[in-house]
Structure 1
Amino acid sequence: MYWIALAIGIVFVSWGAIFPDHLLNTMMTIRNGILDRFGWFYQFAVTFMLIISFIIAFSKYGRIKLGKKDDKPEYTTPTWFAMLFSAGMGITLLFYGLTEPVTHYANPPVGDAQTIESAKLGLEISYLHYGLHAWVIYAIVSLVLAYFKFKKDKPGLMSATLTPLFGNRMNGVAGYIVDIIAVFATIFGVAISLGVGAQQINSGLEYLWGVPNNYGVQLIIMGVTAVLFIYSAASGLSKGIKYISNINLILTVVLFAAFLLLGPTGFVLETYSTTLGNYMQNFVQMGMRFSPFDAENNQWVKDWTIFYWAWWISWTPFVSSFIARVSKGRTVREFIVAVVIAPALVCTLWFGVFGGAGIYFDFVEGVNVAGQSMESSLFYVFDQLPFSGLLSFVAVILIMTFFITSGDSATFVLAMQTSRGSLNPPFFMKLSWGIILTAIAMILMGAGGLDGLQAAAIISGFPLTIILLLMIVSLLKSFREEFNEAAESDSEEEQEEKSA
């Protein structure tokens, strides 16, 4: 499994290094075909995951423990939350937290630009992309992996969770195909974060110290951070990843509190209250939205919403494996509520505060926030606040720690996926996947920038979505069998007691 996947990775890197234009054109052609013919499939799949997750959580299955009867949680709740949150979103909060609401405000899918309505719509769309729909994808997949790993003693592989449906066929070629799809979805999904993280770190360094903002500098940034996240992954979950995740959470809280208190506090909180209420009223409808009678509007849905669903799905092998790994001993209900509701609420608050402040300075103060590039707009808004230099410095450090946590978590999971689900994979596997992951991010950034990275996520996410839906069916089948076995056991005990 390891050598097959590694060989495919080397071939892809070689293709991109020798024929970058051919690679990009091929990927964009496949991407456009998937979006045109199967964009609806992503919408239906993610909505199904949202509905089935809450049905499971508040049904009789919610009492099931992810582990044996006497298993206790391995990490405290605050540490657990810090680890799943920093792995689940990471760099994207810093990159898109202010930029996306402002982008939709300046270029709304419907209505006039830079109006009160487009400002509200920009925030509500951002809540959709980073709220319940995003986190429920992670939750349902990590639930399946944790259940089969800790309850059924299966390897921590996606192929192993399909055994109830396909039997021993998952131990052969079919299982290898499933796990290889998961490996490359992980690589392409995380490569996007590494690419946008390098861009934003470069932008911050340019703002702070005048470092040139170009692809060459971003290559150096990715190379340096790759060394750091490989070292962190080699240290293991209980050392490097755990400590950096806790540092991440502290820095995130500090930056968020400073930005909230130094910025237009009343405006952003009032706006957040209004837009969050609208989102909560309409999130199911928003998550199913298409515009088949308006080609331009329909393309917007595919370029933004469908891309996000594909991106989050491509992250699931990595994020869900990691969340499952640190969630032993939790009940199904506790797990779903914690992994879906709490992070989704934090993400909406983050976008409400950062995006709301960006919109305030553009709409109310007349500062041209909407005219800045995506990677520089955060630092441009910092410039409107007191202690702007300090805020920018903290933001750069936070982006770097997010970069490291995303990279080390992904490297650890890739090694785990290609070592028969081992919870302690060997160092040489972590090293090789760290190098391949960084090389692919560099090549895709050089070939097509964010367009190339996004195309890779959409392509890898399509077959993975089918696998995820089959995993959910397999989980429900196993839940039903477990309860039937428990009911039969209770019935036999009652008959024995009566006989006695």
Structure 2
Amino acid sequence: MFWPAALIILGFVLYAVIGQETAADHVQTVQDEIVGNLSWFYMALVSLFVIFVLWVGIGRFGDIRLGKDNEKPEFSTLSWLAMLFAAGMGIGLVFWGVAEPLNFFDAPMPGTGESDPEKAQFAMVRTFLHWGIHPWAIYVVVGLAVAYSVHRKGRPVSIRWALEPLFGDRVKGVWGDVVDVIAIVGTLFGVATSLGFGVMQVASGMHFLDWVDDPSSKTLLVILIACITAIATLSVVSGIGKGIKWLSNINMGLAAAIMIFVIIAGPTLFIANGMTESTGAYLQEVARMSFDTGATHGDEGTSWVNGWTVFYWGWWISWAPFVGIFIARISRGRTVREFVCGVMLVPTLLTFVWFAVFGGTALQQQMNGEHDYTKDGVSTNNALFEMLDTLPGGTFVAGVAILLIVLFFVTSSDSGSYVVDMLASGGDPNPPIWSRVFWALAEGAVAIALLLASGSGDTASLDTLKTAAIVIAFPFSIVMIGLCIATLKSFREERKAYLEAKQRKEQERLVDETVAVIEEGFDNGTIPSGGGNTDDDGGSDLLTKPKP
């Protein structure tokens, strides 16, 4: 898979760099067609993914172990949760923790009430929808199928082998190659664009703290990408058990420290009340929102849903090969129930707390007139730093937040490189070091090339790559439907084999007990060892009860 994927990536990058405007128009047209005409498909499909994984995890298949029957988990629960959280969406929470609720407050969906409390409630609940159980359900669909294939069946780390129950030996051919190449290309595109856009937030934060004069300087952005890529390369070379695990644990510690600071220095009581209220509202509204295409509010409603919710679903699906395979790789020894609950529920709860703390603090300040974030439009890059700056000691914490952003990007980059390398190496769970280095450097090189190709203050090439990642999500969503069917088929066969084995064991136990009773009867004389007498009625007295 190495050369086909590498050539496709190189060709598309040249296309995006050389013909910036043309490439952007072409890719955007394809995305508009997908998002505009298939929004109903995305909304229904992702909601069905949620139903599917909850049913599989809670139901009778939950006891199936992703490994040998008595195998223990490879990583501790804390390290496991830290790694999957950091790879899955840690950086997104830092980037959008303040900005997304403020954007929804400033420009809510048509049909939302006009009062500030109504807009604030909508902002938090809709944010919970975009970052709650739905994206993690998408990751579980891929991760569970791959984890069962790899850890239970002993197959290579590859999406094609997760489809084996559905297609049999055909996964070894061209269609299997196509699936893995799509996964490689989508993963690298997603990580490279996140790296490119992420350093812009880092640069904005450095400018906000007066560390640099020009946050849009291409030299500064290239240096930042180079530094992040260098750290990520060292991490991915060290392997999952060292660099990736250590950085993920550090990330979780730093994130927790900043969050606790905001809870103490910010509106503590409002945060606690808002968390409780928003969670309750989310639980009441989640079913309706899951299928809400905005159609009842006309073109404005569908446009809003397409621009936010449907776009998010596509973005999460485009990241599903990367995150799904990575969490599958680190989940050896977990049961299906542990996998589903750990991947879906724990990160979702942490996400809700995060948005309640950061987004809730900003919304409270906005409604009370303490700080106007929407005066000149919400600044997505600076929103976090603006909020921290309003708190005592916030300037220092803003500096720590920049470090946190950098480390989260490192963990996303090294995890992405590791996944791409496993796929490109034919499913080797421990790919060679040289290829790990190649893919880690390739992500940074792609981000740098597209940034340099864009004009001053422009991100046209990066936008094209990001849009291309969303476009790739559509064919991969079809693959995900196949993964659901393949997983269900595998689990049913496993359950059937388990029940048959249990029945055989029960039969063997009954036979053993019967033999033991007969042998005991012979030993104590209850059952005569001779031929026995015949009663008048023709019956045998071999099995007569003993006399008192």
1:262-301 equivalent positions in 2, closer than 5 A: 262-293=265-296, 294-301=298-305
1:258 aligned residue: 261
Q: How much does 1:138 deviate? A: 1.3
Instruction: Provide the residue aligned with 1:155 in structure 2.
Output: 156
Distance of 1:113 and 1:437 partners within structure 2: 44
Where 2:381 maps in the other structure, the secondary structure is coil
Superposition deviation, residue 258 in structure 1? 0.4
Please give the alpha-carbon distance, in whole angstroms, between the structure 2 residues aligned to 1:325 and 1:380: 38
Q: Which amino acid aligns with 1:214?
A: S
Q: Give the drift of 1:272.
A: 2.0
Instruction: Give 1:442 shift.
Output: 4.0
Higher helix share: 1
Change (3 A) 1:81 1:172: same
Aligned match of 2:74: 74
Helix, strand or coil: the match of 2:61? helix
Which deviates more from structure 2 when the two are superposed, residues 479-488 or residues 322-331? 479-488
Stretch of structure 1 that moved more, 184-193 or 318-327: 184-193
Choose which of 236, 240, 249 in structure 1 pairs with 2:252. 249
| 1:182 counterpart letter in structure 2 | A
Query: Which residue does the alignment assign to 1:486?
Result: 498
Q: Distance in 1 between matches of 2:304 and 2:152?
A: 43
Partners of 1:106 and 1:113 within 8 A in 2: no
Deviations 1:121-160 (A, max 9, x none): 0111110000011111112321111111110111111101
Q: Determine the structure 1 residue equivalent to 2:326.
A: 322
In structure 2, do the counterparts of structure 1 residues 442 and 462 end up closer, same or farther at CA, with 3 Å as the change threshold? farther
User: What is the CA–CA distance in structure 1 between the aligned matches of 2:127 and 2:402, rounded to whole Å?
Assistant: 22
**212, 215, 234: which one aligns with 2:214:** 212
Work out the CA distance in 2 between the residues paired with 1:356 and 1:450: 31
Kept in 2, the 8 Å contact 1:165–1:474? The answer is yes
Q: Distance in 2 between matches of 1:29 and 1:334?
A: 42
Deviates more, 1:480-489 or 1:412-421: 480-489
Q: CA RMSD in A?
A: 1.7
Asked if the contact 2:103/2:378 (under 8 Å) is kept, the reply is no
Alpha carbons 1:102, 1:355 under 8 Å: kept: yes
- Alignment partners' CA distance in 2, 1:236 and 1:464: 28
How far residue 453 of structure 1 moved from its aligned partner, in angstroms, is: 4.8
State how far apart, in whole Å, the 1-side matches of 2:362 and 2:338 are: 35
Q: Which residue of 2 aligns with 1:362?
A: 366
Answer yes or no: is 1:377 the counterpart of 2:377: no
- Establish whether residue 40 from structure 1 lines up as the match of residue 18 from structure 2: no
Q: What's the offset of the Cα at 1:239?
A: 1.3
The answer (yes or no) to whether the contact 2:63–2:337 under 8 Å persists in 1 is yes
SS of the equivalent of 1:153 reads coil
- Partner AA of 1:437 in structure 2: E
Letter in 2 for 1:285: R
SS in 2 for 1:63: coil
Residue number in structure 2 paired with 1:424: 430
Match of 2:316 among 312, 318, 324: 312
Q: 8 Å contact 1:162–1:474 — kept in the other structure?
A: yes
CA distance in 1, matches of 2:364, 2:42: 33
Separation in 2 of the partners of 1:292 and 1:163? 39
Matched, 1:438 2:437: no
Instruction: State the alpha-carbon separation in 2 of the partners of residues 435 and 14 from structure 1.
Output: 17
Matches within 5 A, 1:404-423: 404-423=410-429
What is the distance in 2 between the residues matched to 1:191 and 1:286? 31
User: For the pair shown, which has the larger CA radius of gyration, 1 or 2?
Assistant: 2
Deviation larger for 442-451 or 285-294: 442-451
Equivalent of residue 462 in structure 1, options 474, 478, 482? 474
Counterparts of 1:439 and 1:228 in 2: how far apart (Å)? 14
Q: Distance in 2 between matches of 1:454 and 1:47?
A: 24
- Tell me the distance in 1 between the aligned counterparts of 2:399 and 2:431: 35
Instruction: Structure 2: give runs of 5+ residues left out of the alignment.
Output: 513-548
Amino acid at match of 1:274: E
TM-score normalised to structure 2 length: 0.88
The match for 2:26 is: 26
Aligned residues: 500
* TM-score under structure 1 length normalisation: 0.96
Gaps of 5+ in 1: none
**Deviation (angstroms), 1:207:** 1.6
What residue identity is the alignment partner of 1:183? I
Matched, 1:338 2:342: yes
Kindly indicate whether the alpha-carbon contact (under 8 Å) linking 1:186 and 1:315 is maintained by their aligned counterparts in 2. Answer: yes
Specify the SS of the correspondent of 1:89: helix
Larger mean CA deviation between 452-461 and 235-244 belongs to 452-461
